[in-house]
Amino acid sequence: MIKKLRSTILRVLSFTVGNFLVFLFPRKAKELSEKGMTLVMKNSLSISERLMRDAIMKKVEGKADNDTLANLHQNFWKNQGNAFFSSTDDNFNSHFLPNCSYILDLLKEELSSEPEAFTTFVEIGTGKGNVLNYLSSKFPEINRFVGIDLSEDQISSNRDKFSNNIKLEFVASDAVKWVEKNGKPNTVFLTAGGVLEYFTEEQLNDFLKQINNLGKSYFVAMEPNGLDHDFGLNPNSQLYGHERSFSHNYSKLFKNAGFTIWHMSHKDWNEQYIQCLVGAKS
């Protein structure tokens, strides 16, 4: 009881101090917002900046201003994505291959029964590009693999790193805008490790409908869901975790957009979320 009371007092005190700092230093608060505050990387923010960050995020959440929250997420990945990926461990070998790659075997079976060949594979939020490179060897019958990411620096790094693989294209862009301009039927879309969680429910609903309207397409999504998200009690999207990203009801959203679900599974991961793996086709 005493421990819980202390924790509550500390949270209130931190929020109060953070708000006061935002009031005193509005230029710094604006700079933090424009740079993005989704994740706090080691030594990236001072103590005062962390307090301001938490106060800003909490105030936005309190207003239920999901569009502003999504914009903060987008700013982070656009401006700090390269730094984040450079600081992380090799998630491709430690997480993706042992825990998620099985869905690609199921995808191969699905595609093998299609009467028309699929010509393009698009990874949204390609990060370091390791998954896209793996996909090009996993699906040799597909000739074009496009990796989209908001970070121009990361895209530039990927182009250098995978310059010998002529099947790969790396594009610095907002995925919605890219699909609007370049989307075609007979395309497989994929997210690996948390990308759609930074879309609001409305944004994601519109985006999935946009892809469905292209014509024949597949979508493989590997995304987190908050452990406390009970779809029976709340079938809509809700915030979760320190990042305050969105836990989405992917089955509902894909079906609402006109897709058919051909695979759905979940894996326990950590104290904040489980991993949802969904396969859908239009």
Q: What is the pLDDT of residue 3?
A: 64
Q: Average pLDDT, whole number, for the chain? A: 92
> Minimal CA–CA distance to 171: which of 200, 137, 148, 197?
148
Residue intervals of the chain classified under CATH 3.40.50.150 are 100-281
pLDDT score recorded for residue 261: 98
The whole-number pLDDT of residue 268 equals 84
How sure is the predictor about 186, in pLDDT bands with cuts at 50, 70 and 90? Answer: very high
Structural element, H or E, at residue 74: helix 66-87
CA of 226: how far to CAs of 167, 212, 270, in Å? 36, 26, 10
Quick one: pLDDT at residue 193? 83
Query: Which fold, 100-281?
Result: Rossmann fold (3.40.50)
